[in-house]
Amino acid sequence: MLSGGDILIRSLQEEDVDYVFGYPGGAVLHIYDALFRQDKMKHVLVRHEQAATHMADGYARSTGRPGVVLVTSGPGATNAVTGIATAYMDSIPMVVISGQVQSHLIGTDSFQETDMIGISRPIVKHSFLVKKAEDIPMTIKKAFYIATTGRPGPVVVDIPKDITNPTDLVEYSYPAEVAIRSYSPASKGHSGQIKKAISMLLSAERPMIYAGGGVIQGNGSELLATLSRKLGFPVTNTLMGLGAFPATDPQFLGMLGMHGTYEANMAMHHCDLILAIGARFDDRVTNTVSKFCPHAKIIHIDIDPATISKNVEVDVPIVGPVVNVLSEMNELLDVSWVDRSSDQEKLLAEWWSQIEGWRKQDCLKVERDDGDTDIKPQEAVQAVYRVTNGTSYVTTDVGQHQMFAALYYPFDEPRKWINSGGLGTMGFGLPAAMGVQMAFPDEVVTCITGEGSIQMNIQELSTCSQYGLPVKIINLNNRSLGMVKQWQDMQYEGRHSHSYMDSLPDFVALVESYGHVGFKIDRLDELEDVLAEVYSEKLKDKLVFVDIQTDPEVHVYPMHVAPNGAMRDMWLKKGVRT
């Protein structure tokens, strides 16, 4: 016989949860007491519940295992909402346990009461309100099952305080299996569709492989590499998909979309076949949908049938797990190779030579006028790449620095690039990096951020002190909300409405007050040396904050021309477009 609080903790242990990210409060006191009386799981006390969700998120993205969050009712729950929405938009497995007021008080506007199930409804894969302690084990089993299978996503479990009361004891047993009659995610792609796709691939003249975050989430990166190399097709990744295919591979054309590379966007526009894998044709990729890739037939592999033909009509949909579908494609490709159209090799060579022409544009070249000694944000990212040998985990916040990191830090492995692609959540980077560092204490974890974003969860520097998290924070400080300012420069005649950040703190002094190490870099010639010290053995165990003063006039390019532009319509630098 156990109390509801103990049952919850035991159930989480059954799910092999090693970290719970949370913040205590009235409605979860019984649960926190049960947590205190065990030592299998570690609890990480954040300074704001939003950070708890982002930490769990960073943990989930880097490990592939669900992140677990524990928050109290009312403000605890509402503070978690941004992080839940972030996870939902990027399909990240997460289980959020929120305390609720006592059952008899629900609906009476009692202290710290909020309808968490209602508030979170549009941003969860599913949610549960637990009615009695006996239901906790099955609910937790279902929550983890739903969060981690099919298209992953966050699940909220709302538990009224009386259900966890230490004096009410009930029988406990944890279910070995779970079956939900109304939920059966696709386990296998349709073989007929896969055959059809293979025959299209083997007769394509100007093909493109467009792979997104689903390849990483579905652990399909190696299979994608095998398929791509076998076919010899060019590959592009979405913002969420970076690392799904090795970025330093010659077949890789870079990221596509609004801030995609010239070659990736041009190749997409001119291709005759798109093999889309775990990507969702979102508006930051397609530019104007009606002008999207006018010559292309589309094969779309995705675990979620609702993603198929949502934004762009596809010709051959394949609904299934990426591992299953890509394995089947790789096997089929070996036996079907004989059916390859006789001139495909020659046509592919022509296609590649056209692509090499686009590559010569060198769209990521960093521009610098004579006598200009400002540090360009791109150079800062490139320096971080060199100093870390391209092997660091990198999280970002949202804005210009995010795009510079995506474009100038090539990722060769999946799960190393961690950013809020769908929701675009400022304040994500630091707590996400902390979650990664928790999961991989011996790895180098870098948070590339800006002075705007970092201040949205800067309180977590305190959590880093408490748990000794040696995250390296690269603050690209341009004294302005760079991406907002860029749009104001381009679309509002340079009227910088509220995009300046004045009264910035002395970041070095600030981080030192938490016991961390701070550096300020304002000269280009010190950049590399200081970064080498930041990542040196000496500072391996320290959180280091590097405040890099960068040129505030720099824009992110390439950039899609909008509105009404196609994939090929891009600004290549200030005032220069395709």
Partner 1 sequence: MRRIISVLLENEAGALSRVVGLFAQRSYNIESLTVAPTDDATLSRLTLTTLASDKQVEQITKQLNKLIEVVKLVDLTDGEHIERELMLIKLKATGAQRAEIKRTADIFRGQIVDVTNATYTIQLTGTTEKLDAFLRSMADATVMEVVRSGVSGLSRGEKILAL
Provide the binding-site residues for partner 1, judged by CB under 8 A: 117-118, 121-122, 125-127, 129, 146, 180-183, 304-306, 308-310
Instruction: Output 181 or 495, the one with its CB closest to partner 1.
Output: 181
Active site residue 217: no
Question: Catalytic residue among 49, 113, 263, 460, which?
Answer: 49
Instruction: Output 150 or 558, the one with its CB closest to partner 1.
Output: 150
Give the whole-angstrom CA distance, residue 540 versus residue 131: 48
The backbone torsions φ and ψ at residue 132, rounded to the nearest 5 degrees and listed phi first, read: -150, 155
Q: Which amino acid is at 269?
A: H
Which residues are CB-contacts of 357 (< 8 A; sequence separation ≥ 6)? Answer: none
Query: In angstroms, what is the minimal distance from the CB of 151 to partner 1?
Result: 8
Query: In angstroms, what is the minimal distance from the CB of 238 to partner 1?
Result: 21
Query: Is residue 278 a contact partner of residue 241, using CB atoms and an 8 Å limit?
Result: yes
Question: Catalytic residue among 36, 111, 350, 491, which?
Answer: 111
Give the whole-angstrom CA distance, residue 380 versus residue 362: 19
Instruction: Output 150 or 218, the one with its CB closest to partner 1.
Output: 150
Q: DSSP letter string over 409-478?
A: S---STTSEE---SS--TT-HHHHHHHHHHH-TTS-EEEEEETTGGGGSGGGHHHHHHHT---EEEEEE-
Query: In angstroms, what is the minimal distance from the CB of 527 to partner 1?
Result: 46
Secondary structure in 3-state letters for 173-207: CCCCCCCCCCCCCCCCCCHHHHHHHHHHHCCCCCE
Instruction: Output 52 or 94, the one with its CB closest to partner 1.
Output: 94
Active site residue 111: yes
Query: In angstroms, what is the minimal distance from the CB of 381 to partner 1?
Result: 37
Look at strands 559-560 and 570-573 and give their pairing. Answer: antiparallel
Query: In angstroms, what is the minimal distance from the CB of 150 to partner 1?
Result: 9
Give the whole-angstrom CA distance, residue 282 versus residue 274: 15
Buried b (16+ CB within 10 A) or exposed e, 445-465: bbbbbbbbbbbbbbbbbebbe
Give the whole-angstrom CA distance, residue 494 versus residue 27: 49
Question: Catalytic residue among 255, 266, 483, 567, which?
Answer: 483
Q: Two tokens at 117?
A: 């199930």
DSSP class of residue 319 equals: E
Which residues are CB-contacts of 361 (< 8 A; sequence separation ≥ 6)? Answer: 262, 263, 572
Query: In angstroms, what is the minimal distance from the CB of 108 to partner 1?
Result: 17
Give the whole-angstrom CA distance, residue 273 versus residue 295: 8
Active site residue 233: no
Question: Catalytic residue among 161, 376, 416, 472, which?
Answer: 161
Instruction: Output 205 or 304, the one with its CB closest to partner 1.
Output: 304
Query: In angstroms, what is the minimal distance from the CB of 388 to partner 1?
Result: 40
The backbone torsions φ and ψ at residue 540, rounded to the nearest 5 degrees and listed phi first, read: -55, -40
Instruction: Output 117 or 510, the one with its CB closest to partner 1.
Output: 117
Instruction: Output 121 or 496, the one with its CB closest to partner 1.
Output: 121
Instruction: Output 77 or 129, the one with its CB closest to partner 1.
Output: 129
Q: DSSP letter string over 188-257?
A: S--HHHHHHHHHHHTT-SSEEEEE-HHHHHTT-HHHHHHHHHHHT--EEE-TTTTTSS-TTSTTEEEE-S
Which residues are CB-contacts of 93 (< 8 A; sequence separation ≥ 6)? Answer: 60, 65, 66, 67, 147, 148, 152, 153, 154
Query: In angstroms, what is the minimal distance from the CB of 183 to partner 1?
Result: 5
Active site residue 49: yes
Give the whole-angstrom CA distance, residue 385 versus residue 373: 21
Query: In angstroms, what is the minimal distance from the CB of 289 to partner 1?
Result: 12
Instruction: Output 182 or 342, the one with its CB closest to partner 1.
Output: 182
Instruction: Output 156 or 469, the one with its CB closest to partner 1.
Output: 156
Query: Is residue 545 a contact partner of residue 516, using CB atoms and an 8 Å limit?
Result: yes
Query: In angstroms, what is the minimal distance from the CB of 106 to partner 1?
Result: 11
Question: Catalytic residue among 13, 112, 193, 361, which?
Answer: 112
- Among residues 38, 408, 349, 216, the alpha carbon closest in space to that of 224 is found at 216
Count of C-beta atoms within a 10 Å radius of residue 284: 16
Active centre residues (catalytic): 49, 111-112, 161, 483
